Amino acid sequence: MASHRKWSPTGTRIAGIRTPALATAALTSVALLSQTANAAPSADSKPSIEEVEKKVDDLYHQAEAATEKYNATREKTAQQRKRVDSLLDDVAQRTEKLNTAREELGSFAAAQYRTGASAPDTATLLLADNPQDYFDQTQLMDRLTSRQKVAVDDYITEQATTTKKRAEASQSLQTLTTTQSALKTSKADVQRKLAEARDLLSKLTAEEKARLAAIEKKKQEAADRKAAELAQQQAAAEKKAQEAAAQQQTTSATTGTTATTGSSATDSSYTAKADKALAFARTQIGKPYVWGATGPGSYDCSGLTQAAWKAAGVDLPRTTWDQVNAGTTVPLSDIKPGDLVFFYDDISHVGLYIGNGMMIHAPKPGAYVREESIFYGGESIIHSVVRPA
């Protein structure tokens, strides 16, 4: 049988007691932690300016995502309100028709009563919850004239339709209440994120604000360099394309063939529309970013792109999540003025490309519509490029 030896910890002896080395270290750690807990908070516990900058950027990003959710919910609420209004109008009209039909049946009942015919059956019909069931259980229909039968049929049909429309209106009202509640929640979410960002910024000292401005300046310089690189690459590609086109024309002239112009015609049509969208966007520069705004005095990011392309005769959806699907996706290397540039994995921001690596966009709360490099947050945040027309 194998022997089981009891583990004997090593260590030093104090007054005849063996003190394990690990226990000694633990006691030392406890003492140090106790001293640290009693000491005054260290200045190093305050977040660095870089951490504050990242936190603020994240909060603004979250606020933009919440804004797009708010925009989508507000649009859904507006559509639902129109549906409710339409249904209520329909119910009112049908109720009026039902009352007219009821009055006509009442006049028949009165005539039957004056002539000594059986009137109570018709009167009971007017009070019945389900006229059709009532007719199934009586012989009233056999005693009605052709004109009366038509009136009764109309009454039964109108009552059934009115009942159905009232149920639809009731359900639509419940849906409207739900979307209004969601709209309120989305609005509160945006306001909470913005308040947190403002609170962080308000606690910065003058020196910290200066350091934050220096960080932003470096980021801007890096973004501008990246934009210049893209502009150079596109210029080189354009020159190469022009040389290829010239070579094709020379070849066509030599061989007597005609060069294809379909692509050029398409490009020309898009350029004309894009020019109108860009012209509109440039006149909005300097107007404030306001979340949920669609102009004319202020905009959020998707509100600006929607308004710009509307000026060119192209209707875009309201939110970035829908606008990203409202056109043809193209590679970044193929980007053209007028294209929409979407940012972040959640597609919560959009700008209008103007060329040379630059765009016009409504950046964030507290900022104004401006021209800026599409690389303002680095190339990694660019989600996709979409050509809307």
Catalytic residue among 4, 61, 301, 383: 301
**Residue 362 identity:** A
What does the alpha-carbon distance between residue 80 and residue 83 come to, in Å, rounded to a whole number? Answer: 5
Contact in structure between 270 and 336 (CB atoms under 8 Å): yes
Catalytic residue among 4, 61, 349, 383: 349
What does the alpha-carbon distance between residue 288 and residue 285 come to, in Å, rounded to a whole number? Answer: 9
- Please, where are the H alpha helices in 262-334? 262-283, 301-310, 320-323
Question: Which of 57, 12, 36, 35 has the alpha carbon at shortest distance from 216?
Answer: 57
In degrees, rounded to 5, the angle at the alpha carbon of residue 95 between the alpha carbons of residues 91 and 96 is 120
What does the alpha-carbon distance between residue 300 and residue 310 come to, in Å, rounded to a whole number? Answer: 15
Catalytic residue among 4, 61, 361, 383: 361
Catalytic site includes residue 349: yes
Catalytic site includes residue 61: no
DSSP single-letter state for residue 118 = -
Place of tokens 């939110």: 319
**CB-count exposure of residue 273 (10 Å: 0-12, 13-18, 19+):** middle
Contact in structure between 372 and 361 (CB atoms under 8 Å): yes
Contact in structure between 351 and 361 (CB atoms under 8 Å): yes
**Residue 179 identity:** T
- Measured CA to CA in angstroms, residue 71 lies from 7, 67, 292 at distances of 68, 6, 6
Place of tokens 């000594």: 116
Catalytic site includes residue 361: yes
DSSP-assigned states of every residue in 150-165: HHHHHHHHHHHHHHHH
Residues with catalytic annotation? Answer: 301, 349, 361
